[in-house]
Every structure is written in structure tokens, then in C-alpha cells.
Amino acid sequence: MSSLFQNSNYIGINLTAILYGVELVVYGTTVHALWTKPKRGRADTFFILFSTTLLILMTILYSTNAAFGEEMWIVHAKYPGGMDAYLAAYVNVWYQTLSSTSPTAANLLGDALMIYRCYVLYNSIYIILFPSLLWLGSFASGVLFLYASGNPHGDFFEGFAQNCGLGYYTTTIFLNFLTTTMIIGRLLWVARYMRKNLGRATSETYVNVIAIIVESALPYTLIGIANLITYGVRSDTNVLFAAMYGMMTGLAPQLIIMRVIKGRAISRRDMTEVLTNSMTFAPGNNGIHEVAISTQYPNHSSTAADTHTTALSIQLQTMSKPPSTIDLLSKV
């Protein structure tokens, strides 16, 4: 390994320390919001467990990489042959295998969340069939990669393990790219729809630049592409992008969960209303819009094709500071 590799490794560990700090803040914010809710449901419990699992995996990733760096650069600084010889001798030590396992597991969890978000935004099971197949391929190739790199003669950067890693990264990063593209496309469609019917202020409350970047996990995908390219060409800078990508496997889904908990993310109910409801708008006083939503439901008490109507009245504040939530008042 060249000096470029060691420098990239050092910078990568420091960048993961920064990202780990961000992960701690986001995790704390999310769990605090969930824990202080007056009434918690099963979904809230799931999010707490999911977020805690991601945090544990990211803690393993950062601590093992930091420990290996300390062993290589400080504790065994006088190892015969230098840092490169120490790396070659201990690259598959048990805690380095654990270091590779943690982002792989976090990646599978994060990709599953991304696929679910696609399901929520498109409100269709068929739209996620192909991404789900890719997820299964990512799982299988990830297990093979961990086995190849963790066996006594395996090397993350060389030979069979390197080829397995290339297959794994190609599959999972293509899945990242696919789900990111699908989510961005849907969010732009929703933004256009809301801007046309609810106004620009309301549209920007739910669909803005930050929403698109966070909900689509765009930084996660872009770093993944850089990681795949540098890994494929066997660049010594890959260790830097691999470290950043590993930490983003936990941080990206954690940011999505935080938006969901705070009510900023578009929910399945929102998408159902957008796709099925008929809306009429009438401007009111002081920047308030009265919105009448008419939804027809079958009247099961009658044998005829009669229907009854549930009218929902929505008041949308369209002044300089729009609200973060929409209140639905049901009138039957």
C-alpha cells in the first residue's frame, strides 16, 4: 500500500468520527421525540428499536476502525516492514471482520427502509418488486463478501474477496441509485401537484430541497457511487470513500426516521389523499384557504349502488410561515 492509502485511511477515520457525532445528535433527537410522546404506538417502538440498532452498528464500525488505526500507527509503529506489512498481516483480524459486517447489516436495514418509502410514496406493491429482488441479491452478495474477506486467507482489497466486494457494491449501490431516483421523481411530482392546488408556501413546507436530499438519501447514494468507482479501479483513495459510505449506511436512514417522527415526511395517508381525493379550493380571509375534499365510499347497508359522502374541511395557513401539519376536521 502507498502513502496515499495510509493518508486516506487516516482522513477517513477522522471523517467517520464527525459523521458519528452527527449520528449521535440525530439519534438523540429522534428518541427524545418518541419517548416524550404522550402515547406511543407499535410504530414508535419499532422506530426506537430500529434507530438503536443503527446506532449500535455505527458504534461498532467507528470503534473498530479507530482501534485498528491505533494498533497500526501507534502500538505497532515499529512492526517489521512498517504499516503496510502490519496491514497485510492483520487485515482479516476478527474485529476488522466485525467492522465490515456492521455497515453491511446497516446497509440492508437502510435499503429496506428506502424500499418501504418507495411503497409509501407510490402507494403500490408492484412498484417495489424489482427493488426487493435487488435487495435479496444485495443480501446474498453481502454474505459472500463477508465470508471471502473474513476467512484466514482473505483480503478485503485483493483476490476473490475483492471480486466479491465489487459484486456486492455494484448490486447495493445500484439499488441505492434506483430508490433515490424513484423517490426524487415522486417528490417532484408531489411538489408540482401541491404547488398547483395548495400554493407554493404549502408545497415548500413538505417538499423542498432539504426534503428531497434527506428523503431520497442523495448523499448516501453519491458517496456510494464514488466508493464503487474507486473500489473497482483499485484506487488507494477507496478506503476514504468506504469509511464515509459505511457511516452513511446508518446516518441516511436515521435522518429519514427523524423527518417521519417530526411529521415532515410525506405519509401513506397523504399519498392516498393526493391520489384519490377530489379537491376544490376557495380563498378565505387573512391568507386562509378553505379546502373542501369530497370522498365517496360505498354504502354497504344498501343493495343499490348508493354512496354517502364524507366531507373534510382543511384550513391551510398560506402566510409567510406555513404550519408543519395539516388539521383534518371530519364532518359526516
180 and 58 within one domain: yes
Residue of higher predicted confidence among 281 and 141: 141
Q: pLDDT tens-digit profile of 48-87?
A: 999 999 999 999 999 999 999 999 999 888 888 888 888 8
13 and 117 within one domain: yes
Over residues 146-158, the mean pLDDT reads 74
284 and 138 within one domain: no
Query: Which of 211, 128, 212 lies closest to 175, judged by CA?
Result: 128
Question: Domain for residue 272, yes or no?
Answer: no
Question: Domain for residue 21, yes or no?
Answer: yes
252 and 311 within one domain: no
Give me the torsion for CA of 199, 202, 205, 211, rounded to 10°: -50
Tell me, what's the pLDDT at 99?
87
Q: What are phi and psi of 328, to 5 degrees?
A: -105, 120
297 and 178 within one domain: no
Question: How many Å apart are CA 316 and CA 323, to the nearest integer?
Answer: 8
196 and 291 within one domain: no
Tell me, what's the pLDDT at 328?
31
pLDDT of 254 > 80? The answer is: yes
Q: How confident is the model at residue 174 (pLDDT cuts 50, 70, 90)?
A: very high
Q: How many domains does the chain have?
A: 2
Tell me, what's the pLDDT at 270?
61
Under DSSP, the state recorded for 332 is -
Query: Which of 173, 163, 177 lies closest to 232, judged by CA?
Result: 163
Tell me, what's the pLDDT at 88?
80
CATH number, domain of 110, equals 1.20.1070
Mean pLDDT of the chain: 78
251 and 309 within one domain: no
pLDDT of 36 > 70? The answer is: yes
Over residues 182-203, the mean pLDDT reads 78
Residue finishing a domain among 267, 289, 321? 267
58 and 203 within one domain: yes
Helices vs. strands in the chain: H and E counts, helices first: 11, 4
The domain in which residue 315 lies consists of: 277-331
Residue of higher predicted confidence among 127 and 277: 127
163 and 299 within one domain: no
pTM equals 0.75
Question: Cell 380563498, residue?
Answer: 283
296 and 193 within one domain: no
